[in-house]
Amino acid sequence: MLYIGLMSGTSLDGIDAALVNIDDKGMPSLVASHYLPYDKSLQARIFNLSQSDYVQLEDLISLDKELGHLYANCCLALLEKQNLIASDIEAIGNHGQTIRHRPRPNAFSLQIGDANIIAELTGITTIADFRRRDIAAGGEGAPLVPAFHQAVFQNSASQRQVLNLGGIANITVLSPDPTHTFGFDLGPANALSNEWVTKHWQLDFDKNGDIARTGTIQTELVDKWLALEYFSKQPPKSTGRELFNLAHFERISPEINEANKADVLASFIELTAISIAKGVKEWGYNNGELYLCGGGAHNGYLVDRIQYHLPALKLGRTDDLGIPADMVEACAFAWLAYRTMAKLPGNLANATGAIGPRVLGSIFPA
């Protein structure tokens, strides 16, 4: 059975589409992929909407529709590349673009990208709005990918963890017993560093961490940031760019705008590396395997700093386990669509804090 998974994350770079085959045991394998980048104007509108205290309703609705068209076009491009038609696909699983996420208490999460439009333009049943059923069951609606990591990457012969380095970093601590697997958001991965690089070098990101590598880590800054309450909270927990955004960090540490720009960038990377190490040391495995995915897996300097702080762990990429680092989350939402259509739970209560497993998502028939 073929499913399509769509992911557009907090890095706001574009849409990842994964064509995934689900076998008769419910195990997924990646068949093909497609990437549709956001243009600069769209990136700015999404970011501004997600960070604004007051949102114009017309702006939200307009962007919801526009993203629906983009998601549909991304799926159609993938089908064309593979010489497939709508009837070849069981369903599309669309994460949507997160506009606002709040953890407990009073959790809520909003992802946009009109699934009605996706179903209409592709002729394929579409599942969306995956987070809110988990929230209704007392969870935070995030992270959702640990259930997928458990299904695909678990290995009873080793202590294995999966670290996603998107805009936000999240980790899954795998267990041979699925009821003991858990995951949580660690803090920022690429969110702060990408914003800083865009502001001062007019680049989307620091390729391989080459600019950050020229800077000197400012330990006083890093220590100041690590004092944020989020880093001391116990899992299950989730976060987003509502907390980890550059404007907030400029308010709590205005001295960064007078400091050497490469030094600040190196310090943002160090914050990510230390917060990951802190989370692993307190709640994960200090030995074994740590497999990386997400855009940050390509940042050599970030990977070096993670390895420095976690020397006993063997680092690799999920490519070594059969799924490219950039496609793990898109594959996850293809698998979650399959779970929804099969009326099987898609959340992992140990990761989200929900009171139990739930079938996730809303179905928009073709």
Give yes or no for a contact between 294 and 166, defined as CB atoms under 8 angstroms apart: yes
* pLDDT tier for residue 254 given thresholds of 50, 70 and 90: very high
User: What integer pLDDT is reported at residue 145 of this predicted model?
Assistant: 96
Q: Is the pLDDT of residue 11 over 90?
A: no
User: What integer pLDDT is reported at residue 60 of this predicted model?
Assistant: 96
User: What integer pLDDT is reported at residue 158 of this predicted model?
Assistant: 87
Q: Is the pLDDT of residue 184 over 90?
A: yes
Half-sphere exposure of 158 (CA within 13 A, CB side): 13
- Domains annotated for the chain, with CATH where assigned, are 2-142+329-364 (3.30.420.40), 145-321 (3.30.420.40)
Indicate yes or no: pTM above 0.85: yes
If you ran DSSP here, which 8-state letter would residue 161 be given? E
- Best CA proximity match to 20, nearest among 294, 317, 298, 339: 339
How far does CA 89 lie from the centroid of its chain?
Answer: 24
Q: If phi over 0 gives left and psi between -120 and 50 gives alpha, with beta otherwise, what is residue 252?
A: alpha
* pLDDT tier for residue 156 given thresholds of 50, 70 and 90: confident
Give yes or no for a contact between 222 and 264, defined as CB atoms under 8 angstroms apart: no
Between 261-283 and 300-309, two packed helices, what is the crossing angle to 10 degrees?
A: 40
- Per DSSP, helices labelled H in the chain are 40-51, 57-81, 115-122, 132-136, 145-153, 191-201, 210-213, 219-226, 246-252, 261-283, 300-309, 328-341, 349-352
Give yes or no for a contact between 246 and 139, defined as CB atoms under 8 angstroms apart: no
Q: Is the pLDDT of residue 348 over 90?
A: yes
Average pLDDT, the chain: 97
**What are the structure tokens assigned to 237, written together?**
């927990």
Coil vs helix vs strand at 350: helix
The percent of residues in the chain predicted with pLDDT above 70, rounded, is 100
* pLDDT tier for residue 157 given thresholds of 50, 70 and 90: confident
* pLDDT tier for residue 169 given thresholds of 50, 70 and 90: very high
Indicate the pairing of strand 168-173 with strand 160-165.
antiparallel
- Taking CA 246 as the corner, what is the angle to CA 242 and CA 248, rounded to the nearest 5 degrees? 60
User: What integer pLDDT is reported at residue 131 of this predicted model?
Assistant: 98
User: What integer pLDDT is reported at residue 177 of this predicted model?
Assistant: 86
Q: Is the pLDDT of residue 179 over 90?
A: no
